[in-house]
Structure 1
């Protein structure tokens, strides 16, 4: 029987996996680095928590995650012309004692069994709209491109320094990086605009991780982003996590599977809701596994961590994936 790590590599390299990769089983995500444990962050149900960037966040009950507050009283960047006066990056100079928990966690992972990855969120685009609001961020890409390029360069340089500290202390062999680039039906920008503003930033960031020995780059965008898949490949993404069914996953696997793999295919909203049932979980998991197969695809809810909004859903999905492995893969061997 292959280890979880070996089975993942067989899957994404078009080899001979002996079962479906089951959601996040192949990757140990570290949340307890110093930034992660010191950055103010709302818990479920909390409102108006200001983080290290000065962004006010709230996590209302019944929602899958926190959201920035963008009324005029809380918005950080009210005028892009003045962003340099108001955007102040969080400090990354932490005492070594604050690294002890994360280092111990990283060292405890059996790397024959799992990859070890820091959790990086929000991404570059999300940071821009967290600071000013998504409408303003998108408008400024058109109306104030030079200022947005300058802001994105500033955010990228900060993230590269963050990457250096993570690699120096944790020696990860994978990273798990968030940045949502679209809604369920469309990207937030054309491919040309994405390439103009964000592609080089990510090539630099992901390229740095490669230079530091990272083998596996997993990028989360629970959205439509099929038009950006060639750019994901160009920037070095190995797995796109969060791929929704609106992306025509079979076509993506056919066209790009040898260069990038797709993790998701089970829209969280379809199964992760207050009235969820085991039967609908069973039906969605079976549909995804049969439609997309076991090569270049990892069945997973589109949630951006190994969790669900409503208790029991994530575990139920995992159990159903195991059952599909027995039906589809082990039965054929």
Structure 2
């Protein structure tokens, strides 16, 4: 008898070769933890628990343009940024509602949006946040430490009440051509706190997916060195062949499939979409460690999922 999708995914997360390429929808159950008010409930227009106003655009929540920032000077963060008291949050009520349809045959997967750098620019605006990294690095570092302390506390309650298996920790550090900032800024101000979050998750028995969009090649090996379990979304603007070659034995990759140029491009024929799935499985799945995925909201993502299931089912039998 073969492995269940959950068992197969756990083999991959333990750095073992799975029986077949994991098919994400069968192995993961994404539960939206409405106890986390990092963005408005339901990802619609409204305020988060720090007073930032968000607007839903194209299915994604972004800070509303034109609003006065909550924090104009990073040196004032201790007075202006109030962290909610999670000990008095009604976790039991939220979890009962959010988990009422939990599927025990799948791994419970919860997104933790708005990591330390994302929280800074949500409060200050993107340009001001980048300037603060240069003008007041020590204050930024202390703010990031406080944000991650807050995130670690959230993980404790997500484990206790939601029985989470995997957290998907968001903090974007790159755009399509390079990082938002010099690698040394990341190494000094952000890296140590992400490492604390990873360690805390593992101590709680939670797998840690590090989500960072963009071209993050210059720090990718160091992210893997933090002992994150999965790097996501492994966008193809990066040198994914090098990632697999140099540190694919240390970390799993999720994503990799070219959504921007292939999946979301209606002029690209279906067979090329399927070929892209096969290319990325051939590149990243040998020896295990690959969860194919396309960051796409296009209906054509159904083609991607179909090809992952078909091609991935036989991959390890042939290789």
2:3 matches 1:6: no
Shift of 1:33: 4.1
2:193 to 192, 198, 201: 201
**Equivalent residue number for residue 89 of structure 1:** 83
**Equivalent residue number for residue 290 of structure 1:** 282
The 3 A distance-change label for structure 1 pair 19 and 195 is same
Shift of 1:23: 3.6
Superposition CA RMSD, Å = 2.6
**Equivalent residue number for residue 247 of structure 1:** 238
**CA deviation vs aligned residue, 1:25-64 (integer Å, no higher than 9, x gap):** 4222221342259944543xxxx5322221122223xx46
1:180 to 172, 183, 196: 172
The 3 A distance-change label for structure 1 pair 15 and 35 is closer
Q: What secondary structure sits across from 1:59 in the alignment?
A: strand
Q: Is the 8 A contact 1:22 1:322 kept in 2?
A: yes
Q: Is the 8 A contact 1:41 1:50 kept in 2?
A: no
**Equivalent residue number for residue 299 of structure 1:** 292
C-alpha separation between the residues in 2 aligned to 1:88 and 1:70? 22
C-alpha separation between the residues in 2 aligned to 1:195 and 1:231? 9
2:181 to 176, 189, 193: 189
Map 1:208-287 to 2 at 5 A: 208-214=200-206, 216-273=207-264, 275=266, 278-287=270-279
C-alpha separation between the residues in 1 aligned to 2:244 and 2:39? 40
Q: What secondary structure sits across from 2:60 in the alignment?
A: coil
**What count of residue pairs does the alignment treat as equivalent?**
314
1:171 to 160, 163, 170: 163
Shift of 1:187: 1.6
The 3 A distance-change label for structure 1 pair 297 and 193 is same
2:21 matches 1:20: yes
Q: Is the 8 A contact 1:41 1:57 kept in 2?
A: no
Gapped runs of 5+ residues in structure 2?
none
Normalising by structure 1, report the TM-score: 0.84
Shift of 1:147: 1.8
**CA deviation vs aligned residue, 1:189-213 (integer Å, no higher than 9, x gap):** 2332112111121122221121112
Normalising by structure 2, report the TM-score: 0.87
**CA deviation vs aligned residue, 1:245-303 (integer Å, no higher than 9, x gap):** 121112111110111111111132234537365334223212222333342222111x2
C-alpha separation between the residues in 1 aligned to 2:188 and 2:122? 20
Q: Is the 8 A contact 1:242 1:264 kept in 2?
A: yes
The 3 A distance-change label for structure 1 pair 103 and 291 is closer
The 3 A distance-change label for structure 1 pair 211 and 17 is closer
C-alpha separation between the residues in 1 aligned to 2:120 and 2:210? 18
Q: What secondary structure sits across from 1:34 in the alignment?
A: coil
Shift of 1:154: 2.2
Q: What secondary structure sits across from 2:233 in the alignment?
A: strand
1:69 to 64, 69, 72: 64
Q: What secondary structure sits across from 1:243 in the alignment?
A: coil
Which stretches of structure 1, 4 residues or more, deviate above 6 A after TM superposition? none
**Equivalent residue number for residue 309 of structure 1:** 297
Q: What secondary structure sits across from 2:301 in the alignment?
A: helix
2:53 matches 1:78: no
Gapped runs of 5+ residues in structure 1?
none
Q: Is the 8 A contact 1:253 1:297 kept in 2?
A: no
